[in-house]
Copies of this chain bind each other. A is one copy, B any other.
């Protein structure tokens, strides 16, 4: 591998990224796709070096006695590096969002107006252990014409450094600025703070990780932030639900992958269907190893139900646990969701058109799902081909973010001498 030097401070890195971003903004799709393929090939070529670096991170993780699940997500193998490279190649198949005309018209005075997509410029990503995010984020930012500042966790620092060195060399070898992809130096918390306060240099920071990371980023940032991923998702089983369908969707929403943000964390059951649904649901959940934390009305159905405290309704479990409550009406379900939801994904199971319409109109979340699993809130499942995260804020992007969500726009106005004094439209 080469030895391309990187900036020593976040401010230096951000300044170098701005220069790279001006170059990236005017690159053609063909150019960017060529670079993405070169990056993928380079990762596979240098897999042994990357695996060696990763092994040192894994040894530290083992010494620190981390959870086996986290160790597994940290570990890189030849086949995993192949999959990471293939994910870069898959990005070449996606349309380039840059230059897309979002809207356009010819004004009354003859001015031609076009609103076109342009890159943000410099994007910061603050993320936790998984090293595949390093490559994924670099690829998505490159395709959308953005320079990226990557701030991974210190637990993956050797892996991330090796990956980024390979990507930078591939960029440089293909006529792109290496500083389009930079790892933010330092593994203290200070470098995150510096990144979050680099107003004028960094256009947006996207945190990817747990609730504590995201809260810290949002509260400390002066630069614009897109909040992602915290999902306290509800399944509401309406009075007019098909009980069989409700069981199947509840089990999929809760157990298909319990550790992710679109997994269900609470089930709300209409009282009119409780006698029929709750005993069967408790049995089905128990069969999947799920612990139910229920309110008093749910607990009345089984001694196995753990009494729910306020915190059970407030927080994500991200495990084989679910909170459960019985509600007196759809209105009460909506009120419960308004109170506890993180506005990620909320679902209703019902045969009633009126209930589905009321729920989708009144529940305010990134995704509101009728008669399907909460697990479908995902960029891949939505057909976006890629996902940089799932926004749970209302500004700019909401829900799964693909390449267009990594862009801003500008208005281009073409005239032939129009002045406000002579040619005003208003």
How far, in whole Å, are A368 and B111 apart by their CA atoms in the complex? 12
Residue of B nearest to A367 (CB): B411
A389 on the B face (CB < 8 A): no
Query: Which residues of the partner chain B approach A218 to less than 8 Å between Cβ atoms?
Result: 199, 222
In the assembled complex, the CB of A246 is this many whole angstroms from the nearest CB of chain B, namely 10
A212 at the interface (CB under 8 A from B): no
Question: What residues on B are CB-neighbors of A115 within 8 Å?
Answer: 399
User: Known: A252-B421, A394-B203, A421-B252. Contact between A366 and B410, CB under 8 A?
Assistant: yes
Residue-wise interface mask of A (190-225) relative to B, using a CB-CB cutoff of 8 A (1 in contact, 0 not): 000000000100011000000000000011001010
Q: Indicate if A121 sits at the interface (CB-CB under 8 A).
A: yes
What is the copy number of this chain in the assembly? Answer: 2
Q: Which residues of B contact A424 (CB under 8 A)?
A: 381
The answer to whether the Cβ of A9 comes within 8 Å of any Cβ in the partner chain is no
Q: Are B107 and A373 in contact, with the CB atoms below 8 A?
A: no
Q: Are A105 and B413 in contact (CB under 8 A)?
A: no
Question: Main SS of the interface on chain A?
Answer: mixed
Considering only CB atoms, which chain B residue lies closest to A369 in the complex? B413
The answer to the question of A31 belonging to the interface, with a C-beta cut-off of 8 Å to chain B, is: no
- Contact yes or no, A410 B368, CB < 8 A: yes
A412 within 8 A of B: yes
Asked if A408 is at the interface (CB within 8 A of a chain B CB), the reply is yes
Beta-carbon contact of B121 and A373 below 8 Å: no
A372 contacts chain B at the CB level, 8 A cutoff: yes
A96-111 vs B, CB cutoff 8 Å, 1 = contact: the mask equals 0000000001011001
B107, B219, B360, B373: the one within 8 Å of A381 (CB): B107
> Which residue numbers of A lie inside 8 Å of B, CB to CB?
22, 25-26, 105, 107-108, 111, 113, 115, 118, 120-121, 199, 203-204, 218-219, 222, 224, 226, 245, 248-249, 252, 256-257, 338, 356, 360-362, 364-373, 375-378, 380-383, 393-396, 398-399, 408-421, 424-426
Q: Considering the complex of A and B, which 10 residue pairs feature the smallest CB-CB distances, nearest first?
A: A372-B415, A252-B419, A394-B408, A396-B396, A375-B420, A380-B426, A372-B418, A367-B411, A369-B413, A224-B395
